[in-house]
Structure 1
Amino acid sequence: MCGIFGAVSLDEEFNQKNFEKFVELTDLVSYRGPDAADYKSFNSHNKSIDRNSFNIFLGHRRLSIIDLSSEGNQPLFCDDCWIIFNGEIFNYIELREELKSKNHIFNTQTDTEVIIKIYKEYGEDGFNKLNGMWAFALYDVKNEKVILSRDRFSIKPLFLYQHSNKYFFASEIKQLLPLLSKIELQTDHFRIFLQQGLLDFDNYTLFKNIYRIPPKTNLIIDLKSKTTVEKKYWDYSDQKIEGSDDEIFLKFRELFVDSVKIRLRSDVQVGSLLSGGLDSSSITFVALQFSGQLLQTFSVISNQKKFSEEKFIDIFTRNFKVSNKKILLDSDKLKDNLDKVIEHQDEPFNYFIPVAHFNLIKALNENSDIIVILNGQGGDETLMGYLRFYFFYW
């Protein structure tokens, strides 16, 4: 997880005071990227880096996962392009080999540099080749355009505020709020939230004038023509699923195993959450096949036995002889961090999972040195683990 902030002006230029403000807004989410920080401001008209007169700002807070050296710090530059990137490209090794065969030369071991090389070889449509989760801004110096891109299923957040031919984008809503002349509620969407508990069903947020960059989409800001266009790089709506039930099950298994395997790529230690449920148990089982007994697993158990899945955790760890550390969460104290969870969420939530998840990760951070963790979050939505998901499917 990293944090990004950026600004683009198609008319009047920003100044030194704006630069200082943008640095503050980048650092507002320093907890997303504690390992490194940098800020660059560009004047696209004379191709210079300038803090006093500029029309593009890129700020980055880094959490180091791939290539821990300073070579991986951002904004990163190569091939006349700058980039700030939050996320991970899981198939970067295969893509790097493909690009090397096309005579591309790499200066780092990062997945970040791979994004730029893909863009140089295939253009914006090349982002369809990326297997990962991402939100990034790429500044093409030569062609004078800024491209904002978001992954296929909106795993990584990217918010946008547009005002008077100026575009501001960020990892979190709170980074954009200080730029608004007035903070107003998006009343129609708030009403839907109160009536149905729905959020994230379109590109609006609950704050008027702050939007989400759509998933599987590039927003291309052309500095020469002063125009913007949204362009999808991928669409699955017309792809049919064919084959017998057995063939589909085997294909699902193949994709599932590959998705776990490829997420084990990391230059820091990877662990796995083991709740005792089917999602996390399946993920942990597959991860063990590729990382062996080196994989550390962590389990959160409740002091209320009727809610505890500890017996299933014990069955798993005993059968597969895997290292496991149990962390006890006192359910009576979960609400102690409620204010902190609300602060991080930026928008309201209608169930207790974010509170429990926050406390889980907080306890994990205090009891281990693990940086990357695998978990089963999201499995119920795709596999219809609860009845409410059937209604949306129908």
Structure 2
Amino acid sequence: MCGITGLITSSTGLEKRLKKMADVISHRGPDDEGFWIDDKGEVGLGHRRLSIIDLSSAGHQPMANEDGTVWIVFNGEVYNFGDIKPELEAKGHVFRSQTDSEVLIHAYEEYGEKMVGRLNGMWAFIIYDTKNQRLFASRDRMGVKPLYYYRSGQDLVLGSEIKAILASDLVKPAVDLEGLNEYFTFQNILSERTLFADVKMLPAGYNLTYDLAKKRLSLSQYWDLKYAPENKSEDEFAEMITETFRESMDRHLISDVPVGATISGGMDSSAIVATTTKHFRNLDTFTGGFDTKNLAEGDRSFDERGDARLIAKTFGTNHHERLISPSDALDYLPSIAYHFEDPKVAMCYTFYLIAEIVSKEVKVVLSGSGGDEAFAGYPWRYQLIEGKTNRHDFDQALYGWWSRLVKDQDKKRFFTPRVLGQIDLKTPFKEYGKIIDAAGDVSPVNKTLYFENKTFLHGMLMVEDKMDMAFSVEGRVPFLDNEMVDIARRIPDELKYRGGNGKYLLRKAFKQLLPEEITEKRKQGFTPPDQTWYRRELKDDIEDLLMGQKTLSHQYINPTYIRQVLDEHNAGADNRLIMWSLMFFEWWCRIYLDGQKVPTLGNEKVPTRVQAG
């Protein structure tokens, strides 16, 4: 796991620009840094290294082939590099390290862009081919690793994070108003847009190429999720899942540094812990929880530390907990806005705070992300569209549900006249429709799962990447291994979603692995009790942030609407999603548009090791 940058420009000072770009994402790679610039001074690559595989200097990047004609900067892990390497050696390629990065270089020499079809892993990389004057960048199938780019005239800037692109001084931060329109519809941006004008995200499963001689940029999709249900018995599928999961875990445990795991209290993360402890003794596990003493009755179930402790005790882990307080929700928000930069789903301070305690023990952490989207873990969403084969009815249900912040009919009251004059209110539905069209002629459940994989899961992966990397931690997701995803896409609907319950077949596959209390537990997301917090302990601070004299977001969002949101919540409505998004956007404006520094917190909380009894 690392931070990567790439720059093609005719402007002066390329070396200085590259250095600034890498420095601003040093948290992604505190172990080493490196740079390469071509002979003409027009093309440069930068790298910040988090050493995970082959900790020696042989893993230094940017890395080149034998004659220095192909250079790479790489972020991620290719889990099957050990299988690809012998093939390349048999074809005459010579290796100088034990890294997966070097395998990518020689795979590019041998197979060109088609190399990505051979990879099983998570990645974002940039390759520059000096002979052909060609830049080639790629992002993994599911989008576990981020890669952003900016193109203007003869300038092309790429980076693991947008702040690296801004540090090039070739782009000035401004709000992408259509991105803002999408975000305050879905609490997510479904298109390639970001909140930053002219800065785009390379989509998952896509390659980017840039021909330096022709000044031509092109994007191409090399993989997509295609559902193809097969006629196999429950037992056959369950056995396939069990074996493939074991193989995936074997691949995801390859590391030259300590590995830990997060536990949410659910089945997916518990299965990871159960399997990992067969390989490692004294596994470090991590979870977060909330003080339930002063919570409303409905919010007390949000604390899942009891289930996490059950798993920790069952499998004998060294368990660590972070008790998350109401004040944490606002105290850490500026730091989260800085690191997250391009908001997606979730009130992500819980992930940020857990990543902090993870970083004090391990450099690699496994999570259960992807299990729900692969094996149908959100039954209430499938109930919405069940039986809706008519596209209009399907869209009414699904688009309506995912329009979780501001409905289209309320946008004229939500945005200021300045914004309304520059956006198309139909944009969110158009972007939604593109994804549903791409799902193809599949069942309503699989169409919904496709949408979740492309949007909600992708957003969650960005949450985990940015929050983990803020503390120099590599996150890994075994449920998104190529082979796991391939099995999931072949399972019929009725074996994933049955009788109003999700993950039917996965529960069956894991029954021999986990306690019944975990396999039979109803799905619950890792959600803080902030509905109560916003109405009590944080009420005055939220008022000051969103309705104060220093509030910057009023340039874009009608303060009258914000006032209504706060008043409704205080009166008993649940407006916590939009309130968090409004607070995030306010701090985003202060940091990225106004140039305010992120406040420094004193007395950082330390991790707590608990007895899992």
What is the TM-score of this pair, normalised by structure 1?
0.88
The answer for the alignment partner of 1:8 in structure 2 is: 8
- Report the CA distance shift for 1:301/1:194 in structure 2 as closer, same or farther (over 3 A): closer
- Specify the alignment match of 2:350 in structure 1: 356
Q: What is the 5 A alignment of 1:40-189? A: 40-42=36-38, 48=39, 53-79=40-66, 80-178=69-167, 179=169, 182-189=172-179
C-alpha separation in 1, matches of 2:321 and 2:219: 45
User: Which of 306, 311, 326 is the matching residue for 1:332?
Assistant: 326
What's the secondary structure of 1:357's corresponding residue?
helix
Check whether the contact 2:282–2:318 (CA below 8 A) recurs between aligned residues.
no
Over 3 Å counting, the alpha-carbon distance change for 1:285 and 1:186 in structure 2 is same
Separation in structure 1 between the aligned mates of residue 36 and residue 252 of structure 2, nearest angstrom = 31
Residue 23 of structure 2 is matched in structure 1 by 27
- The separation in 2 between residues aligned to 1:181 and 1:91, in whole angstroms, is 38
**In structure 2, what residue type is equivalent to 1:55?**
E
Go from structure 1 to structure 2 and tell me whether the alpha carbon gap of 1:165 and 1:64 turns closer, same or farther (over 3 Å shift): same
The DSSP-based 3-state class of the residue aligned with 1:176 is helix
Helix, strand or coil for the counterpart of 1:113?
Answer: helix
**Counterparts in 2 of 1:198 and 1:137: CA distance versus 1, 3 Å:** same
Secondary structure, aligned partner of 2:285: strand
Contact 2:286–2:354 (Cα < 8 Å) also in 1: no
1:263-282 to 2 correspondence within 5 Å? 263-282=252-271
Aligned match for 2:230, one of 238, 242, 265: 242
* Structure 1 pair 350–242 and aligned structure 2 pair: CA distance change class (3 A): closer
The answer to whether residue 32 in structure 2 is matched with residue 36 in structure 1 is yes
- TM-superposed CA distance for 1:183, in Å, is 3.1
Deviation at 1:14, TM superposition (A): 4.0
Provide the aligned C-alpha RMSD in A: 2.1
Query: 2:3·2:160 contact (CA, 8 Å) conserved in 1?
Result: yes
Q: Is the 8 A contact 2:148 2:161 kept in 1?
A: yes
SS at 2:342's partner residue?
coil
- State the match for 2:419 in structure 1: none
Q: What is the DSSP-based 3-state SS (H/G/I as helix, E as strand, rest coil) of the residue aligned with 1:146?
A: strand
Residues of 2 paired with 1:156 and 1:198: CA distance? Answer: 17
Identity across matched positions, percent? 35
CA contact (8 A) 1:124 1:233 kept: no
Task: Measure, in 2, the Cα distance between the counterparts of 1:295 and 1:161.
Answer: 41
Q: CA deviation at 1:377?
A: 2.8
Q: Which has the higher helix share?
A: 2
CA–CA distance in structure 2, aligned partners of residues 181 and 235 of structure 1:
32
Higher relative contact order (CA 8 A, sep 6+): 2
Distance in 2 of aligned mates of 1:304 and 1:217: 44
**1:192 matched residue in structure 2:** 182
Q: Distance in 2 between matches of 1:341 and 1:229?
A: 33
Structure 1 residue 334: Cα displacement: 2.0
Q: Which runs of 4+ in 1 moved over 4 A?
A: none
Report the counterpart of residue 300 of structure 1 in structure 2.
288
2:213 partner SS: coil
Q: Which runs of 5+ in 1 are unaligned?
A: 43-47
Contact conserved, 1:14 with 1:54, CA < 8 A, in 2? no
Deviation readout 1:138-194 (Å, 9 max, x if unpaired): 111222211011111111110010011221101111222353554332222312321
Instruction: Measure the CA separation in 1 of the matches of 2:247 and 2:327.
Output: 38
Q: Does the 8 Å CA contact 1:301/1:326 hold for their aligned counterparts? A: no
Name the SS of the counterpart of 1:123 in structure 2. helix
Matched to 1:30, the amino acid is S
Q: Distance in 2 between matches of 1:136 and 1:351?
A: 27
Does structure 2 conserve the Cα–Cα contact (< 8 Å) formed by 1:341 and 1:355? yes
**Cα drift, residue 250 of structure 1:** 3.3
Residue type of the alignment partner of 2:368? G
- More deviation in 139-148 or 326-335? 326-335
DSSP 3-state at the match of 1:344 = helix
User: Which residue of 2 is the match for residue 255 of structure 1?
Assistant: 244
1:376 corresponding residue in structure 2:
368
Aligned counterpart, 2:391:
none
Equivalent residue letter for 1:315? L
Q: Is the 8 A contact 1:35 1:61 kept in 2?
A: yes
Q: Is the 8 A contact 1:81 1:140 kept in 2?
A: yes
Answer whether contact 1:190 1:206 (CA < 8 A) is retained: yes
- Cα shift readout 1:319-350 (whole Å, capped 9, x = no counterpart): 33x22222231322322211101111102355
State the alpha-carbon separation in 1 of the partners of residues 27 and 188 from structure 2. Answer: 28
Superposed, 1:285-324 pairs within 5 Å as 285-289=274-278, 291-304=279-292, 306=300, 307-320=302-315, 322-324=316-318
Work out the CA distance in 1 between the residues paired with 2:233 and 2:155.
51
For the Cα contact (< 8 Å) 1:71–1:108, is it kept in 2?
A: yes
Q: 1:365 aligns with which of 346, 359, 363?
A: 359
Q: 1-side partners of 2:248 and 2:215: how far apart?
A: 40
Q: For the residues of structure 1 that align with 2:281 and 2:87, how far apart are their CA atoms?
A: 32
Q: Which amino acid aligns with 2:243?
A: E
Match of 1:347 in 2: 342
Q: Distance in 2 between matches of 1:379 and 1:54?
A: 46
What do the CA deviations read for 1:245-280 (whole angstroms, capped 9, x no partner)? 523333333333222221100011111122322121
Kindly indicate whether the alpha-carbon contact (under 8 Å) linking 1:204 and 1:210 is maintained by their aligned counterparts in 2.
Answer: yes
- Alignment check: 8 A CA contact 1:151 1:215 kept: yes
Q: Distance in 1 between matches of 2:357 and 2:338?
A: 18
User: Over residues 68-122 of structure 1, what are the superposed CA-to-partner deviations in whole Å (9 max), with x where a residue is unaligned?
Assistant: 0011010011142110011111111111122222232211000000001111111
Question: How far apart are 1:212 and its partner, in Å?
Answer: 1.0
Q: Secondary structure at the match of 1:325?
A: strand
Of the two, which has the highest radius of gyration? 2
Deviations 1:345-386 (A, max 9, x none): 10235532x1100001112224x2x11011113433333333
Paired residue total: 374
SS of the residue corresponding to residue 188 of structure 1 reads: helix
**Conservation of the 8 A alpha-carbon contact between 1:303 and 1:328:** no
Question: For the residues of structure 1 that align with 2:183 and 2:20, how far apart are their CA atoms?
Answer: 31
Structure having the larger proportion of residues in strand = 1
Secondary structure at the aligned position of 2:55 is classed as coil
SS at structure 2 position matched to 1:293? coil
